[in-house]
Amino acid sequence: MPDKDIIIKGVAASPGIAIGKAFLFENDDFCLVHKEIPQNERKDEKKRLNDAIEKTKAELKITHDKINGILGKNYAQITNVYLLILDDPSIRKDVDKFIDEGVNAEYSVFMVIDKIVRSFETIKDDYFKERILDIQDIGKKVLRNLLGKQRTTLASSNEDSIVVSHNLAPADTVAIKEKLVKGFATDIGGKTSHTAIVAQGLAIPAVAGLKVISSQAKTGDTIIVDGNKGEIILNPSAEILTKYKKECDMQFAKRKELEKLKDLPAETIDSHKVLIFANIDNPDEVQSVLDSGAMGIGLYRTEFMYFNRKTMPSEKDHFEEYFKVAEAISPYPTIIRTIDLGGDKLTRMGLLSMKHEENPFLGLRAIRLCLKYPDIFVDQLRAVLKASAYGKVKLMYPMISTLEELHEANRILEKVKQDLKKEHIKFDEKIEVGSMIEVPSAAMIIEAIAKEVDFVSIGTNDLIQYTLAVDRVNENVASLYDPLHPTILRFIKRIIDESHKAGIDVGMCGEMAGDPYYTPVLLGLGLDEFSVASAQIPKIKRVIRNISFGNVQRIAEEILKCGDRDSISKIISTIQMQ
């Protein structure tokens, strides 16, 4: 046991405590050693290099054929760039030269790649930037084969694993879902990155933004993930381990206690009722939604269907999933949000052939993508409408930033409805249509938007990042990502008041709604519906059932007069719970 516990601080991404064994995922940081190769072994060393190159070529051929089968010749040509690098005689000559001088093959490859990358880095040109990535990637492939390393997959993780990684893309977390693990710890990412959201949905403790965890932890190390404090403890002492085991037991007992609230209404002590809905991104979550006592689904993130698949989802694929969810949740509503791809939710395998963007969060994302590629949008709309015949389905558009976008989306929806009618396909002709309010420009024209939709839902994850200019996935600015910034609270107030004037309800489906610390404030501001990860529902309900609406309304008024965060926190600390 070490003398001192290694505590690494990061960003609290999903609450709870988990104790398990580290499982290093997709670690491409090889440990390369420089070895002297004797004269008589250099020929064999070159053969070893040759074999690794041939193996890499064979792997590329498989990738080429896969892409060719799915997306066609043009996309498959991507692999040709890699083959060209592998066959480049000048690169090969440089590597051989090092081996002739007695350097081992791994280190020779590393030195040549490093030299090329450094020289390309001095050229300020987008083309060369892209090539650097290609060269680094192909270098890693060859090195992996030279070292006989496999790319790790989650297949060998288990229920005792804490997945440790530099980063986890949404596509990885989808795979993790199928392989229940105990926790996550990542070098990068913030509280509302989609990896964090998935962890919250699965009620798995997670800490992001740890910067060094993937280089410090080894597979098999004991690790404690404290998702409440936002820190991890690597190879803890027996004393700390005992302390945390006790906390885990307490956590479990608390959860059992909260489960008793399941069938009780979300009602304050002075009888003000609100709705508590669940967020999902996969039909498999329906059972936990039903178990949590949610009164509907306030956000169904449909873009997750696009990850880890080889072909675009068809109308039938969409329909089958929506039907399953809507029917199971009925008579409660299911709010299906049209795809929100882009930002940190990029597809792999070139689905949608999304080009690299410098600022993907400000780029072709969500409704913008759907309006640019109406065929994809139409497939989804047809499926949503068809599912509306089997349950209480509502439709919601993400990332609306202008009224024109809303008009255009509704125009396409109208056309799809007409087509279905012509085809004599049943659907709910009065399907409610809502808009997410998650871009400051939408919050400022809420009066106009509210007149044209049946409901709105505030997406604080994005509203905060776009309003405060703080990247939601960047751990370096995580401390600036503040839901209680006076501007955010004023936006929320404005959205609620103007929507109520137009006679429509306001929900919130960003992570702010799922943190019990903010519940009194949101309730006091007049929020009608909280849509949160299923695991958070009892915690939010407990707060609501123990406060007075009159009291939190007065507190919200006070808070809105504040211009700084400290004054707001002080007022919140005065809130009385029964």
The footprint of ligand PEP (CB under 6 A) covers: 197, 299, 301, 340, 438, 459-462, 509-510
Chosen from Mg ion, ligand PEP, none, partner binding at 14 (C-beta under 5 to 8 Å by type):
none
Output the smallest distance, CB 464 to ligand PEP, in A: 8
Are 110 and 136 in contact, with CB atoms under 8 Å apart?
Answer: no
The three-class DSSP label of residue 504 is: coil
Q: Is 438 annotated as a binding residue?
A: yes
For Mg ion, give the closer residue by CB, 68 or 474. Answer: 474
Q: Is 461 annotated as a binding residue?
A: yes
Chosen from ligand PEP, Mg ion, none, partner binding at 460 (C-beta under 5 to 8 Å by type):
ligand PEP
Chosen from ligand PEP, Mg ion, none, partner binding at 95 (C-beta under 5 to 8 Å by type):
none
Q: Is 472 annotated as a binding residue?
A: yes
H or E segment and range at residue 237: none
The dihedral region occupied by 314, where left means phi > 0, alpha psi between -120 and 50, and beta the remainder, is: beta
Output the smallest distance, CB 314 to ligand PEP, in A: 23
For ligand PEP, give the closer residue by CB, 67 or 446. Answer: 446
**What's the CA gap between 242 and 228, in Å, rounded?**
18
- Count of beta carbons in the 10 Å neighbourhood of residue 108: 25
Q: Is 462 annotated as a binding residue?
A: yes
Are 466 and 478 in contact, with CB atoms under 8 Å apart?
Answer: no
For Mg ion, give the closer residue by CB, 189 or 459. Answer: 459
- Sign (positive/negative) of CA torsion 419, 421, 427, 433? positive
**Catalytic site includes residue 318:** no
- Name which of 299, 318, 304 is nearest 456 in CA terms: 299
**What's the CA gap between 578 and 543, in Å, rounded?**
9
Query: Rounded to 5 degrees, what are φ and ψ at 431?
Result: -50, 130
Output the smallest distance, CB 370 to ligand PEP, in A: 14
60-69: long-range contacts, CB 8 A cutoff, minimum separation 24: 60/86, 60/141, 66/310, 67/349, 67/350
**What's the CA gap between 174 and 190, in Å, rounded?**
18
Catalytic residue among 64, 166, 485, 509: 509
**What's the CA gap between 188 and 13, in Å, rounded?**
11
**What's the CA gap between 230 and 207, in Å, rounded?**
5
Output the smallest distance, CB 509 to Mg ion, in A: 8
**Alpha carbon of residue 144 to chain centroid:** 28
**What's the CA gap between 191 and 480, in Å, rounded?**
12
- Paired with 267 in beta bridges are 273
For ligand PEP, give the closer residue by CB, 387 or 442. Answer: 442
Are 10 and 168 in contact, with CB atoms under 8 Å apart?
Answer: no
**What's the CA gap between 247 and 213, in Å, rounded?**
23
- Name which of 505, 567, 539 is nearest 203 in CA terms: 539
Output the smallest distance, CB 509 to ligand PEP, in A: 4
Output the smallest distance, CB 512 to ligand PEP, in A: 8
Q: Is 301 annotated as a binding residue?
A: yes
Binding site for Mg ion (CB under 5 A): 438, 459, 462
Chosen from ligand PEP, Mg ion, none, partner binding at 509 (C-beta under 5 to 8 Å by type):
ligand PEP
Output the smallest distance, CB 420 to Mg ion, in A: 28
Chosen from Mg ion, ligand PEP, none, partner binding at 344 (C-beta under 5 to 8 Å by type):
none
For Mg ion, give the closer residue by CB, 303 or 462. Answer: 462
Q: In 260-366, where does DSSP find H-type helix?
A: 286-292, 315-329
**What's the CA gap between 142 and 130, in Å, rounded?**
19
Query: Rounded to 5 degrees, what are φ and ψ at 85?
Result: -65, -45
Chosen from ligand PEP, Mg ion, none, partner binding at 496 (C-beta under 5 to 8 Å by type):
none
**Catalytic site includes residue 356:** no
For Mg ion, give the closer residue by CB, 214 or 499. Answer: 499
Q: From the DSSP assignment, how many helices (H) and strands (E) are in the chain?
A: 23, 16
For Mg ion, give the closer residue by CB, 49 or 522. Answer: 522
Output the smallest distance, CB 545 to ligand PEP, in A: 25
Count of positions (residues) in the chain? 578
Q: Identify the burial level of 92 via C-beta atoms within 10 angstroms of its C-beta, where 0-12 means exposed, 13-18 middle and 19 or more buried.
A: middle
The three-class DSSP label of residue 386 is: helix
For Mg ion, give the closer residue by CB, 147 or 371. Answer: 371
Catalytic residue among 194, 318, 370, 485: 194
Q: What DSSP state is assigned to residue 147?
A: T
Output the smallest distance, CB 461 to Mg ion, in A: 5
**What's the CA gap between 43 and 36, in Å, rounded?**
14
**Alpha carbon of residue 299 to chain centroid:** 14
For ligand PEP, give the closer residue by CB, 217 or 399. Answer: 399
Residue list, annotated binding site: 301, 337, 438, 461-462, 472
Annotated binding-site ranges for phosphoenolpyruvate:
301, 337, 461-462, 472
Residues of the binding site for Mg(2+): 438, 462
**Catalytic residues, which ones?**
194, 509
